[in-house]
Each structure stands twice: as structure tokens, then as C-alpha cells.
Amino acid sequence: MSPASRRGPQSDVSPRRSLSRDVIISAALAILDSDGLSSLSMRRLGAVLGVDPMSVYYYLPNKAALFDGVVDAILAELDRELSQLEPHAETTERLAAVMRTYRQVLKRHPHALPVISTRPVRSPHALAAFERILSTFMDAGLDLRGAVIAMTTAVEFTIGHVLAEAAEPYGGETPYSAEALEGLESVIPVVFHAWQVEVGSDELFEAGLIALLEGLQRRYLPATG
């Protein structure tokens, strides 16, 4: 392994380039995407940026502020992509397109999922993205309270699904062989045959998402007549 590969992700920031909040957050997200949450520290940021780690604190006073900046950067991606969605006349499809976009953005940054799922949504880009999502639910005919519940439920479903997609088994994979399954068909026949059914992650997401959105619309559309 070369010295360069041991240093991990290389920022496009040189030591002579002026430091800024955006530059620091961009470097932090690169570290996070490449090496995971445990690798992100002020010391590592300083090394990647070519500055004294204490310089980072001038722009981001603590790790909470750094994580908030990372969430804001990711949700800025979401806001840009939501702004480019083609309009769709069918309500469920319009809502589904929003959540599909959210899933794709999250899948680009799987190591950031614990941060996104736990940090409060207060940054400008985060608020702009969720303004778009909430407005889409209200455009579907839900009142404000119903839209908040529906949006939160759909967002949590999407985050949970991507977490399941991205997660690796704790302790590593467990090897299975054909011999290990011998004799189980007579004991657990339904489960035994279910193991043979292949269902992709995309199909599971679509099935759950459409069922969820249709159910939320039925539950929270205001009664008429």
C-alpha cells in the first residue's frame, strides 16, 4: 500500500487555498463517504485540508456543527434534484417520485445515514428540501397535520429501507451451504421455499412505498360530503 492510499480520500483543497465552511464540509463528506463515520474527526479534516486542525474550529465550533453541515450538504443535493423533477398528474406517482429521489440521494452517502436520521432538520437546504416534500403531500389533498404525518412516515420508511440496504452484518457474513438446508423442508416448508424466492431491493422498496403512500392518502385525505 502506498503512502497516498493510506491517507484516504484526497481533497481538491491545497494548503494555500483559503479555508471556508463549505470547503471543510465538502472534505468532511468526502471522508465520510470513503471511510465511514468513525474516520471523521477534526484531526483527519486538518490533515486532508493541509491545515492545523484548530483552524477548522473557527468555522465549525464543534462536531455537532460539522454533522449539521454534512446533513445540509446532502439535503442540498436532494433539494436540487427535487427542483428538477418532471410534473406528474397522478398523485401517488408524484409522491413516489419524491421519495425515490430521496432514496437515491441517501444511497450515495450510506455512511451518513446515522447522522441524517438523528440530527435535527434546521439548516437552510434541509428546510428547503422538506418544504418541497411537505408541499407535495399537501398538493395531494392532505391538510397540514395529515401532510406532516404522511411525510414523516414516508421519510422514515425511506431512511430505514436504505439503512437495511447499506448495512453489513455485525460480525461478518454467515456462510450457508446446501447441506445446511437438508431436512428443513419437512420442518418449515413455507420458510424453506420462501428462501428460494429472489426479490430485489428495488422491488421491495417500490412495493412498500406504493402501499404506504396509498394507505396514507386514504387515511389522511379530509372527508368530503
All CATH 1.10.357.10 domain ranges in the chain, comma separated: 70-166+207-225
What's the confidence (pLDDT) of residue 70? 93
Q: Is residue 37 a contact partner of residue 114, using CB atoms and an 8 Å limit?
A: yes
**What integer pLDDT is reported at residue 4 of this predicted model?**
43
| The pLDDT of residue 121 | 76
Low-confidence ranges of the chain (pLDDT < 70): 1-17, 169-172, 176-181, 185, 223-225
**Whole-angstrom distance, CA of residue 16 vs CA of residue 1:** 28
Cell representation of residue 80:
436540487
Stretch(es) of the chain classified as CATH 1.10.10.60: 1-61
Give the domain 1-61 fold. Arc Repressor Mutant, subunit A (1.10.10)
Check residue 143 and give its pLDDT. 94
* Residue burial 70-91, b: 16+ Cβ < 10 Å; e: rest: bbbbbbbbbbebbeeeeeeeeb
Residue 34 pLDDT: 93
Question: Got the DSSP string for 129-170?
Answer: HHHHHHHHHHHTT--HHHHHHHHHHHHHHHHHHHHHHHPPPT
| Structural contact between residues 123 and 71, judged by C-beta atoms closer than 8 angstroms | yes
Query: The CATH number of 70-166+207-225 is which of 3.20.20.70, 3.10.580.10, 1.10.10.60, 1.10.357.10?
Result: 1.10.357.10
Please tell me the predicted confidence (pLDDT) of residue 178: 62
Among residues 160, 39, 40, 41, the alpha carbon closest in space to that of 106 is found at 160
